């Protein structure tokens, strides 16, 4: 009785709690193994990334705006969650028409966030903890306030006259994307009185597209990458990278763009252990971003799951989820690595994607953390942070509310007035209350990340989708020479019983996370899962 109590207090008993336990296999020094995995050039395959909106993470000076010193002061909290690397949304000077995706100076720091010395201090503090930092690189467009654009718009003959895409008419026949694929607004062409011409902008009018047909633009943007690599950043998340070039007959991911990316990769490869992450614009298949597997991107976001899991869970059917991972496993070149997300600054909070059913968020995170690839957690996701209702920049501010570290009124984020009001339910979705609660979302994330820690199989092992005789069950196995796991998620709202094929010779399934039972006989597994649950079984 006492032992049972002690074990359940440690979260080790079969008490149904979502806590890792390893009843069959001995523990090892996973921290030491993690240090080894995260030290080499393949660090990014094993790292847990965390996407940070600096403006909303931590304010250090009471102005209500998150900043770099604030972020630096939170590194230990993020380490405690299990985060190994940060992706910072744009940190450069900007008029903030698109939350920093409108860069006014590629070699500076947004003064709201601090000074270059603050960024250097962040890099040092992160590196001292063995953490990495990648930054957003926004190359498709600049801010209209960037000096390059100011020069380009001055007249038709200045040295930077062709650094942007200019046309006498608002629909250039040489650029069919001028009328298609405009992302924000009714038209992709904006009239400029100075030149009496129109310039092309795929996004807001304040974000003119650079003209990569100009060799000078190619050289200047590669120099931007060098500048930050010299500073010591560990890599880049490349914004809408497929859109660099446009043409008369194709708005897609052109060969010219791929050639540019190869040049960028060569620059990155001049520095040790740096990585490139693509933001695909093809949301259902990121294959084209990997090139041969080692000449374009190291990673690309897997949006086929990341932006569609809400629908996939809503359908109560696992087919689409299985298909998108199957596609990645069989179609992507060797060496490619999925960047696994369930949200970002561009889409609704996971809580909303889950339609308020927290178990959907948890099951989506379980798939995110266990499929082959590297997870990227969007700040606050680990707390199930809710949406806000206020809008300061644009409609996406609902998912960009300030981080909730402790109780109100400033929730540990600021001593002043937050630049954007906090999201809903802040008293139950802050770190302080969740840390003390083993049933909280935060505790669940700690369990998931604890399961990955130090185990190479998750980041770089093999994966195989398993066939199941129940349409609502997602099942996969992960394996390398050291360990084997079976991951099963019941995507329905009902209990399920199912048979699954286990051709890998799995045996002795020990449940290490979640709920449900799996028994194995020969090459067949028999599964029983409660409603809305998922589980991870270790089989070697
Ligand atoms: C993709 C970014 O994620 C999004 O936030 C931004 O608005 C566009 N690119 C334009 O840069
Ligand atoms: Mg501040």
Count of CB atoms situated within 10 Å of the CB of 291: 17
Q: Whose CA is nearest to atom 2 of ligand 1?
A: 239
Distance set, CA 170 to CA 4, 144, 148, 269 (Å): 73, 18, 22, 40
Please count the structural domains in the chain. 3
Q: In sequence order, what are the beta bridge partners of 198?
A: 167, 191
Question: Interior CA angle at 106 toward 258 and 251, to 5°?
Answer: 30
Same structural domain, 183 and 226: no
Q: Which atom of ligand 1 is nearest to the CA of 140?
A: 11
Point out the ligand nearest to the CA of residue 202.
1
pLDDT at 24: 59
Same domain? 194 vs 114: no
Ligand 1 contacts CB of residue 240 (under 6 A): yes
How many CB atoms sit inside 10 A of residue 191's CB? Answer: 12
Q: Is residue 496 part of a domain?
A: yes
**pLDDT one digit per residue (tens) for the chain, 540 residues:** 233 333 333 333 333 444 455 555 778 999 999 999 999 899 999 999 999 999 999 999 999 999 999 999 999 999 999 999 999 999 999 999 999 999 999 999 999 999 999 999 999 999 999 999 999 999 999 999 999 999 999 999 999 999 999 999 987 777 777 666 677 877 889 999 999 999 999 999 999 999 999 999 999 999 999 999 999 999 999 999 999 998 877 778 999 999 999 999 999 999 999 999 999 999 999 999 999 999 999 999 999 999 999 999 999 999 999 999 999 999 999 999 999 999 999 999 999 999 989 999 999 999 999 999 999 999 999 999 999 999 999 999 999 999 999 999 999 999 999 999 999 999 999 999 999 899 999 999 999 999 999 999 999 999 999 999 999 999 999 999 999 999 999 999 999 999 999 988 788 889 999 999 999 999 999 999 999 999 999 998
Residue 202 CA, closest ligand 1 atom number: 10
Q: Give 60 Cα–ligand 2 centroid separation in angstroms.
A: 5
**Is residue 307 domain-shared with residue 330, that is, in the same domain?**
yes
On whether residue 302 sits in a domain, the answer given is: yes
- Give the distance (Å) from ligand 1 centre to CA of residue 346: 7
CA angle at 104 for the pair 102 and 107, rounded to the nearest 5°: 115
**Count of CB atoms within 10 A of residue 482's CB?**
12
In-domain check, residue 35: no
Pocket of ligand 1 contains residue 84 by CB under 6 Å? no
CATH number at residue 394: 3.20.20.80
Answer yes or no: is 32 within a domain.
no
Same domain, yes or no: 284 and 166: no
Q: Is residue 15 one of the residues assigned to a domain?
A: yes
Among 503, 511, 449, 448, residue whose Cα is nearest residue 479:
503
Residues 245 and 220 in one domain: yes
pLDDT for res 174? 74
Q: Which two tokens stand for residue 20?
A: 């890792």
Nearest CA to ligand 1 atom 5: 346
Asked whether residue 157 falls in the same domain as residue 53, the answer is no
Ligand 2 centroid–CA 67 distance in Å is 5
Q: What is the pLDDT of residue 177?
A: 75
Q: 59 C-alpha vs ligand 2 centroid, how far in Å? A: 4
pLDDT of residue 399: 98
Enumerate the active-site residues: 239, 270
Residue 381 beta carbon below 6 angstroms from any ligand 1 atom: no
- Predicted pLDDT at 7: 33
Query: Domain check: are 430 and 510 in the same one?
Result: no
Q: Taking a C-beta distance cutoff of 8 angstroms, is the pair 45, 337 a contact?
A: yes
> CATH code at 159?
3.90.400.10
Query: Has residue 192 been placed in a domain?
Result: yes
Nearest listed ligand to the Cα of residue 114:
2
Ligand 1 contact via 239 beta carbon (within 6 Å): yes
User: Which residue's alpha carbon is at the smallest distance from atom 3 of ligand 1?
Assistant: 346
Q: Is the minimum distance from the CB of 203 to ligand 1 under 6 angstroms?
A: yes
Do 479 and 353 fall within a single domain? no
DSSP 345: T
Question: Is residue 327 in some structural domain?
Answer: yes
101 in contact with ligand 1, CB cutoff 6 A? yes
**Residue 520, domain CATH:** 2.60.40.1180
3-state secondary structure of 349: coil
Q: Does residue 174 share a domain with residue 227?
A: no
Ligand 1 contact via 98 beta carbon (within 6 Å): yes
Residue 338: give the domain boundaries: 41-142+213-452
Please tell me the distance from the alpha carbon of residue 274 to that of residue 271, in angstroms, as a whole number: 6
CA 283 to chain centroid: 14
**Given 407, 423, 452, which residue is the final one in a domain?**
452
Q: Is residue 52 included in any domain, yes or no? A: yes
φ, ψ dihedrals at 373, nearest 5°: 150, -170
Backbone φ and ψ for 117, nearest 5 degrees, come out as -65, -30
CA distance 473 to 471: 6
pLDDT for 10 equals 32
Could you tell me if 153 and 136 lie in one domain? no
Q: Which of 417, 452, 487 marks a domain boundary? A: 452
Token readout for 438 is 């083993």
Residue tagged 């008419």 (tokens): 169
Co-location of 248 and 192 in the same domain: no
Domain termination residue (choose one: 399, 430, 452): 452
Ligand sitting nearest the alpha carbon of 402: 2
My answer on whether 129 and 173 are in the same domain is no
């Amino acid at each position: 009785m006492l032992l049972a109590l002690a074990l359940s207090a440690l979260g080790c008993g079969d008490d149904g709690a979502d806590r890792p336990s390893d009843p069959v296999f001995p523990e090892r020094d996973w921290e030491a193994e993690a240090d080894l995995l995260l030290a080499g050039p393949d660090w990014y395959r094993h790292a847990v990334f965390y996407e940070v909106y600096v403006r909303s993470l931590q304010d250090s000076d009471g102005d209500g705006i998150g900043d770099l010193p604030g972020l630096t002061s939170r590194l230990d909290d993020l380490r405690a969650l299990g985060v190994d690397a940060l992706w910072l949304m744009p940190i450069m000077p900007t008029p903030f028409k698109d939350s920093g995706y409108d860069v006014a100076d590629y070699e500076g720091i947004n003064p709201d966030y601090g000074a270059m010395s603050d960024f250097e201090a962040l890099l040092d503090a992160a590196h001292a903890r063995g953490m990495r930092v990648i930054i957003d690189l926004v190359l498709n467009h600049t801010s209209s306030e960037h000096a390059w654009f100011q020069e380009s718009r001055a007249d038709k003959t200045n040295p930077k006259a062709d650094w942007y895409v200019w046309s006498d008419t608002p629909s250039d026949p040489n650029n069919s994307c001028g009328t298609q694929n405009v992302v924000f607004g009714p038209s992709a062409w904006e009239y400029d009185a100075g030149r009496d011409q129109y310039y092309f902008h795929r996004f807001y009018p304040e974000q003119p597209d650079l003209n990569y047909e100009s060799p000078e633009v190619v050289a200047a943007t590669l120099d931007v990458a060098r500048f930050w690599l010299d500073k010591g950043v560990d890599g880049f998340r490349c914004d809408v990278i497929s859109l660099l070039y446009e043409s008369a007959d194709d708005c897609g991911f052109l060969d010219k763009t791929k050639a540019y990316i190869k040049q960028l990769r060569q620059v990155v490869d001049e520095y040790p252990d740096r990585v490139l992450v693509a933001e695909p614009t093809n949301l259902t298949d990121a294959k084209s971003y990997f090139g041969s597997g080692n000449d374009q991107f190291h990673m690309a976001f897997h949006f086929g799951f990341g932006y569609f899991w809400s629908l996939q869970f809503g359908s109560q059917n696992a087919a689409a989820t299985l298909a998108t991972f199957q596609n990645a496993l069989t179609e992507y070149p060797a060496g490619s690595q999925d960047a696994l997300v369930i949200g970002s600054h561009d889409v609704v909070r996971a809580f909303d994607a889950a339609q308020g059913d927290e178990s959907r968020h948890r099951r989506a995170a379980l798939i995110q953390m266990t499929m082959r690839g590297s997870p990227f957690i969007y700040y606050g996701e680990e707390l199930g942070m809710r949406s806000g209702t206020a809008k300061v920049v644009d409609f996406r501010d609902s998912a960009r509310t300030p981080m909730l570290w402790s109780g109100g009124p400033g929730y540990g984020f600021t001593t002043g007035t937050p630049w954007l009001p906090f999201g809903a339910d802040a008293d139950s979705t802050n770190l302080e209350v969740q840390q003390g609660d083993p049933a909280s979302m935060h505790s669940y994330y700690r369990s998931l990340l604890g399961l990955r820690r130090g185990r190479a199989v998750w980041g770089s092992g093999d994966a195989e989708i398993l066939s199941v005789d129940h349409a609502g069950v997602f099942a996969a196995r992960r394996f390398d020479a050291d360990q084997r796991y079976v991951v099963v998620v019941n995507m329905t709202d009902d209990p399920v019983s199912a048979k699954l094929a286990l051709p890998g010779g799995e045996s002795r399934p020990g449940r290490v996370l979640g709920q449900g039972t799996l028994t194995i006989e020969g090459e067949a597994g028999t599964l029983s899962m409660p409603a809305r649950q998922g589980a991870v079984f270790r089989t070697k």
